[in-house]
Amino acid sequence: MIDTKKLDYVLKRVNKPARYIGDERNSVEKDFNSVDVRFAFGFPDVYEVAMSHLGMHILYNLINDRDDMLCERVFAPWEDMESLMREHNIPLYGLESKEEIINFDVLGFTLQYEMSYTNILNMMDLAKIPFKSVDRDESHPLIVAGGPCAYNPEPLAEIIDLFMIGEGEEIIVEVFELLKDCKMKGLSRAEFLLLASRIQGVYVPSLYEVEYNEDKTIKSFEPSVESVNPIVKKRYISDVEAMYQMDRVIVPFIETVHDRAVLEVFRGCTHGCRFCQAGMIYRPIREKSSELLLKQADDLIASTGYQEVSLSSLSSCDHTEIDKIAVNLMDKYVDEKVAISLPSLRLDSFSIDLLKQIEKVKRTGLTFAPEAGTQRLRDVINKGVNEENFVNAVSSAFENGWSRVKLYFMVGLPTETNEDLDGIKDMSYLVRDLFFNRNKKDIRGNLQVVASASCFVPKPFTPFQWFKQNTADEFYEKLYYTKDQIKEKKIKFQYHDPKLSILEGLVARGDRRVGEVIISAWEKGCKFDGWSEFFQYDKWIEAMEENDISFDFYNFRERSFDEILPWDFIDINVSKAYLQKEYENAIAETVTPDCRRGCNNCGIEDCEMWSVFR
Amino acid sequence: MKLRLKFNKCGNLKFISHLDLIRLFQRSFAMANVPIDYSEGFNPHPRFSIGNPLPLGINSECEYMDLQLREEVIPEEIVDSLNRVLPKNIKILGYSLENLDKNVSRIIEYALYEFTIYDYDKKFDDIDEFNTKISIWLENDEIKITRFRKKKGKKTEIEENIKEYLESVQVVSYEDELKIDAIIRNGAEKYLKPELFFEALNRDLELGIDLNSVYINRVNLFDENMEEII
């Protein structure tokens, strides 16, 4: 255990010390020496961000419900805490027991965002754990990782011992049970890793070898050990009714990003937006029943005292019984001042009506995501929204008293022209006109439109995984062009940093060679790259140059369909042929309908939609 | 009905701010089915108040809050059910149904703090010499501190004489660790932060203590007649 007097001393000098103390309601403190597997769940960002992540809460409770294992949390300390920890020689510790991370059996990281990878290194450094698998031995914790970015594990291949690809509830238990077994039998780490590689969804990078062509593309990617499967199949829970259901969640003392109970209403998404990685990797669609959801809501409210429940999923309004769930919850909890919220809104008046019904205390702002400014480009990206939906939704929002609207767009999408950028202006102006072109007496509130543009980052396992990303200069040119179009005072135009987006693009589609860049960047002081106050673009460029890694190869190059992509060895059930067809449909501006209107044969087996259409 | 509760805030919970403590109680009332009254209006909030916010990083064995309840309750039951849902290191220690006309923050006037310094590098021969030095210090006409005031976002420094804020100061242990007890003003009108008091003592007696290493514990709170609140 770390020196708690020292910790006390340090905590008096940091901002928000409650980030580092544990002890929250529903946190679980077990005797460190009385379990077989001690797991530290690492989230490579600050407490408030980490604690808002639903997946961590699920795995935390699931593991702690077992007598033979424990799960603690460990997050990236903020800069002030980090420097004091280094000054006073306090190693990274588990929030629950205050035990040093190096004494855990397993340290796992959830990979939610590529630009958090330097924080993984920083946390390992604070824990005094060597970065590379080859530099570690049995005395160090096993380093594992999962989460959406693990679908391209290659940039971290030399750092992480074992990746879990897909949904974690089942696989994490299988891996830890095997670890427990191997520990008892006295097997070595290498022996454990080989056995673990047989579990579906497990990827052990050290068991695979990559060869490259002269043009730097991948020549071959094969297991270096004969018995190892060349393809890693993702894991998903086939029966979401029967899976582990969380009945409690840790309640932070300080305010976090999402300070409420979160109810996951379904997994997967049927829209098939072509830029969206989540929409592909989380297939198939699986809804929880309204009965189960209502019970789970009761449990969560009773065990946390939270006064807000959010119905969370990729597009919550798609749940076939969403009215019933929302209205039932509202009626039940109205006296207890529990509010219901819907974080992801479809662009239609149904969603607005529902929102109007359930939100008793009205928020003044609403967010819509048309993603692209013209119908043509929305057809390219398969965002199934037309102007009529948009006009109806926005009008309905204004009629119901909302006055602040935020619109999300992307720039740098395939086939984009200036006309599409003009569309961003046009839609923002349309919102303004819908607000003012009403009877004077109906106009309430003060209109504010925020048009926010992010820079498109092509992601693995999307139809755009082959696409050539825009350069920083191209992004800037488009963003400035759009900004100059918008002259209306009521409309504010915001945009994301293109430099951050091209680095995100580098890591997202990177291969094993990109790992060295991340390590070099950390050595140069990079951390919290997603936070603008810490982001050091120049350091990243230096790191790339030193390792002979270029944007030209990883970002600004259209890949050919027959090129071996670094993540091709992972099978997400959606076929590569389907993704390719979808890319071709995109270029042809052909819309692919929502799966709920008919099966598009993406390759998924056991899809809930099958029973509807077969 | 109204109800006054006494509670503690110990261990790591001393790092929870006053606002976070209010949110914690709000959730705990919901979980423990405490029939707390809500204010009227657009954004109703529960009607309870915690007397005299405790500075961050200070332990307390004695905190008070007043609750406005929308129905009659059995106080023992409220105490029990709250203690079942509160995190370790915060416990309801007692209750009172008396003197509830005046809000508790208007009743509290003095606080007893205990300052502990582990591994103290001794500056005086013994405890008596130390206490004599303190008595002499307390007889000064002026004991100055610098307060920071924020006005319209601007930070300004104000020099202030705290002599009349100090009731008693005494070294109670001078063996393995140094322990000093002090009763200082802690009212709504006259209030002295314990850290500022200790900073002045440390400076004037040249104790050479790193202020971050001082463990501060609020032991008790008193009214204007130096009586306990409950």
Half-sphere exposure of A46 (CA within 13 A, CB side): 21
Mean pLDDT over residues B24-38, rounded? Answer: 94
Is any Cβ of chain A less than 8 angstroms from the Cβ of B213? yes
Interface test with A, best of B19, B23, B117, B215 (most A CBs within 10 A): B23
The pairing of beta strand B144-151 with beta strand B154-161: antiparallel
B78 and B11 co-located in one domain:
yes
Q: What's the pLDDT tens digit per position in A324-378?
A: 999 899 888 888 888 888 877 777 777 878 887 777 655 667 889 999 999 999 9
User: Is there a domain that residue B25 lies in?
Assistant: yes
- Count A/B contacts: CB-CB distance under 8 Å: 64
Whether B213 sits inside 8 A of A307 (CB atoms) is no
By the 8 A CB rule, do A228 and A218 touch?
no
- List the structure tokens of A563: 């090129």
User: Is there a domain that residue B32 lies in?
Assistant: yes
Q: Considering chain A, what percentage of its residues have pLDDT values greater than 90?
A: 86
Among B82, B107, B132, the domain boundary falls at B107
Q: How confident is the model at residue A383 (pLDDT cuts 50, 70, 90)?
A: very high
User: Is there a domain that residue B227 lies in?
Assistant: no
| Among A147, A158, A163, CA closest to A58 | A147
User: Which residues from B are below 8 Å from A11, CB to CB?
Assistant: 15, 57
B14 and B59 co-located in one domain:
yes
The yes-or-no verdict on residue A100 having pLDDT over 90 is: yes
Give CA B100 to chain center in angstroms.
20
Strand ranges, E, within A548-589? 570-571
User: Is there a domain that residue B228 lies in?
Assistant: no
B10 and B90 co-located in one domain:
yes
C-alpha–C-alpha distance, residues A111 and A131, integer Å = 16
Question: What proportions of chain B, in percent to the nearest 5, are helix, strand and coil?
Answer: 25, 35, 35
User: Is there a domain that residue B103 lies in?
Assistant: yes
**Mean pLDDT of all residues belonging to chain A:** 95
pLDDT of amino acid A152? 98
| The model's pTM | 0.95
User: Which residues from B are below 8 Å from A254, CB to CB?
Assistant: 16-17, 20
Of the listed ranges A120-134, A308-322, A420-434, the one predicted with least confidence: A308-322
B120 and B44 co-located in one domain:
no
B64 and B164 co-located in one domain:
no
Q: B143-152, long-range: CB within 8 Å, 24+ apart, which pairs?
A: B143/B200, B143/B204, B144/B200, B145/B192, B145/B196, B145/B197, B145/B199, B145/B200, B147/B196
Among B66, B87, B107, the domain boundary falls at B107
Total structural domains within chain B: 2
- For position B60, which CATH number holds? 3.30.70
Backbone angles phi, psi at A355, to 5 degrees: -60, -40
User: Is there a domain that residue B20 lies in?
Assistant: yes
Given B12, B212, B215, which is nearest A23 (Cβ)? B12
pLDDT of amino acid A363? 66
Whether B13 sits inside 8 A of A13 (CB atoms) is no
Q: What is the DSSP track for B180-229? A: EEEEEEBSSSSB--HHHHHHHHHHHTT----GGG-EEEEEEEE-TTS-B-
| Among A273, A220, A289, CA closest to A380 | A273
B150 and B161 co-located in one domain:
yes
Enumerate domains of chain A plus CATH numbers.
4-233 (no CATH), 261-496+574-597 (3.80.30.20)
Q: Sheet of A162-164: strands edge to edge?
A: A69-75, A37-43, A106-110, A142-146, A162-164, A202-203
Is any Cβ of chain A less than 8 angstroms from the Cβ of B35? no
User: Which residues from A are below 8 Å from B84, CB to CB?
Assistant: none
**3-class DSSP state for residue A376?**
helix
B210 and B140 co-located in one domain:
yes
Structural domain for B145, as ranges: 110-222
Is any Cβ of chain A less than 8 angstroms from the Cβ of B89? yes
Q: Considering chain B, what percentage of its residues have pLDDT values greater than 70?
A: 100
Q: How confident is the model at residue B122 (pLDDT cuts 50, 70, 90)?
A: confident
C-alpha–C-alpha distance, residues A445 and A402, integer Å = 8
Mean pLDDT over residues A299-322, rounded? Answer: 92
User: Is there a domain that residue B230 lies in?
Assistant: no
Q: What's the pLDDT tens digit per position in B159-200?
A: 999 999 999 999 999 988 999 999 999 999 999 999 999 999
B127 and B199 co-located in one domain:
yes
Residue for token digits 């993540």? A567
DSSP category for residue A462 = S
B116 and B96 co-located in one domain:
no
B96 and B141 co-located in one domain:
no
Whether A13 sits inside 8 A of B212 (CB atoms) is yes
Whether B27 sits inside 8 A of A25 (CB atoms) is yes
Q: What chain A residue is nearest to B212 in terms of C-alpha separation?
A: A9
Whether B56 sits inside 8 A of A23 (CB atoms) is no
User: Which residues from B are below 8 Å from A21, CB to CB?
Assistant: 12-13, 15
Among B107, B133, B167, the domain boundary falls at B107
B55 and B103 co-located in one domain:
yes
- List the structure tokens of A303: 């065990």
> How far is the CA of A485 from the CAs of A369, A417, A423, A429, A454, in angstroms?
20, 14, 10, 11, 17
**3-class DSSP state for residue A520?**
helix
pLDDT of amino acid B148? 83
Mean pLDDT over residues A106-130, rounded? Answer: 98
Amino acid code (one letter) for B36 = I
Choose the most confident range, by mean pLDDT, from A379-388, A464-473, B186-195.
Answer: A464-473
B130 and B191 co-located in one domain:
yes
By the 8 A CB rule, do B221 and B186 touch?
yes
Q: Considering chain A, what percentage of its residues have pLDDT values greater than 70?
A: 99
